[in-house]
Amino acid sequence: MDEGATDTDFEGDAWIYVEIKRDTKFIVGFAVGKRTQDTCNRFLMRIMDGMELPTLSNPIEFYSDGNDQYREGLEKIYDSTCYRYGQLSKTKSAGRLTKINRQWVVGEGNLCDIRTSQIEIC
Q: Is residue 2 pLDDT above 50, yes or no?
A: no
Helix H or strand E encompassing 37: helix 37-49
Burial class (CB in 10 A: 0-12, 13-18, 19+), 122: exposed
The full set of domain ranges for the chain reads 15-113
| Dist CA 90 CA 100 (whole Å) | 5
Judge contact between 98 and 74, C-beta under 8 A.
no
Question: Average pLDDT for residues 2-10, to the nearest whole number?
Answer: 51
H/E segment holding residue 60? strand 60-64
Q: What pLDDT, in 10s, does the model give residues 36-94?
A: 999 999 999 999 988 888 999 999 999 999 899 999 999 999 999 999 999 999 999 99
The pTM score is 0.78
